[in-house]
Amino acid sequence: MKKTPGPIMLFLLLCIGLLAIFPLVGDDFYTELITKIMILSIFTISLDLLIGFTGLISFGHAAFFGIGAYFLAIFFQDAEQINYWWALTLTLSGTALASLIVGWICIRTSGIYFIMLTLAFAQMFFYFFFESPHFGGDDGIFISSKPDLSIAAEELVDLGNEHHFYYFVLTWMVAVYLFLSMVLRAPFGYILVAIKANEQRVRALGYSTQYYKLVSFVIAGTIAGLAGFLEAAHTSFVTPAYLSWHESGIAIMMVVLGGMGTLFGAVIGTFAVVFLQDLLPAITDHWQIIMGGIVIAIVLFLPNGIAGALYSLHALLNKKGLAKADADD
């Protein structure tokens, strides 16, 4: 993973700082919206691991988000009290298993076939939940209580409290970012990045690339499941729409706009897209046209997304700084 230059790191820390103080000063509506965005960010960061680092373009990543959400809903919908640890463990193991099975089949293909297979699997899961009355069908499922996050009967965070939930999700988002940064800075991560550049070459170096791709797929799927779990816990509601290909498509858009292969770019992309979806309809009914125009403009003029623009800006300022230092000599 490209080392994040100091000034960009500073900018990111500043953003985290702003996020940390927002609920104290901001409007409750936006606190809730940002909670939603941060949950989606966890989902898109996991997609960036596949698209931006491993070179696997999954068009069905929302399936794991949805499966994570459904795990919480199916097993705990009527529970009077949901043990957070137990529910989280169950959800993560479930999505890990699902992504292991789907990944085991899909990574045998590449390029357009990989895209089509992941899409097909996601649609299978979507219709499974959509048409199963037992799992709520197209109505979805309501969850009657919030997970109870306690250690030794001591409640750590009240997940029913919107502000508590906000900080809880912020912590998760930072943790996921740090975890994946760590994974990508280890030799394992170099191999993923190398697979994206030239898979045959990695095989010739003696690595079973299938195995590495599968592990990457399972990590990404499990983190997507975590995001789904948080979303279900946040809204106390799940719907088959979570698994639809629209969700997978928008997630790809968020990663591409934010800048692939940076992790934090996915977060920026998610914030940008959700805020645009929130702001543009106030301006015009035909806001989707403006949205489309913005997407086209960013892809054309900022091919590495918003994060790429930050890197270019940093390089430009550095060059100017060097030129100035030279002139001073």
Partner 1 sequence: MNGAPPIIEARKIHTYYGDSHVLHGVDFHIDAGETVSLLGRNGMGKTTLLRSMLGLTPPRSGSIHVDGLECTGASTHETTRKGIAFVPEDRGIFPNLDVLENLTMASRSGPAGGDDWTLKRIFDLFPRLHERRDHMGNQLSGGEQQMLTIARALMTNPRLIILDEATEGLAPLIRLEIWEIVRQIKATGIASIIVDKDMDALLPICDRNYIVNKGTIAYQGKSRELLENPDLCKQYLCV
d(CA 329, CA 326): 5
Burial-class residue 67 by CB neighbours within 10 Å (0-12, 13-18, 19+). Answer: buried
d(CA 36, CA 33): 5
Q: Min. distance of Cβ 213 from partner 1 in angstroms?
A: 13
Nearest by Cα to 48 from 299, 226, 216: 216
In the chain, at which residue ranges do the beta strands (DSSP E only) sit?
82-83, 141-142, 147-151, 154-157, 237-238
| Bridge partners (DSSP) listed for residue 83 | 148
Only one of the segments 31-39, 185-193, 218-226, 299-307 lies at the binding site for partner 1 (rule: CB under 8 A); that segment is 185-193
| Position 191 contacts partner 1 (CB under 8 A) | yes
| Position 207 contacts partner 1 (CB under 8 A) | yes
d(CA 220, CA 304): 21
| Position 54 contacts partner 1 (CB under 8 A) | no
| Position 133 contacts partner 1 (CB under 8 A) | no
| Position 183 contacts partner 1 (CB under 8 A) | no
Q: Min. distance of Cβ 55 from partner 1 in angstroms?
A: 10
Residues in contact with partner 1, counted by CB under 8 A, come to a total of 19
| Position 24 contacts partner 1 (CB under 8 A) | no
Beta-carbon contacts of 99 under 8 Å, excluding residues fewer than 6 positions away, are 64, 217, 218, 220, 221, 222, 224, 225
Toward partner 1, which CB reaches closer, 2 or 246? 2
Only one of the segments 73-81, 93-101, 107-115, 198-206 lies at the binding site for partner 1 (rule: CB under 8 A); that segment is 198-206
Which one of residues 138, 190, 284, 321 is an interface residue with partner 1 (CB under 8 A)?
190
| Position 319 contacts partner 1 (CB under 8 A) | no
Q: Is 140 helix (H, G, I), strand (E, B) or coil?
A: coil
| Position 204 contacts partner 1 (CB under 8 A) | yes
Binding mask 225-264 for partner 1 (x = CB under 8 A): ------------------------------------x---
Nearest by Cα to 67 from 100, 38, 106: 100
Joined together, the tokens standing for residue 73 give 């809903």
d(CA 329, CA 318): 17
Toward partner 1, which CB reaches closer, 152 or 204? 204
Kindly list the residues in this chain that would bind partner 1 in the complex (CB under 8 A).
Answer: 2, 187, 190-191, 193-194, 196-198, 200-201, 203-209, 261
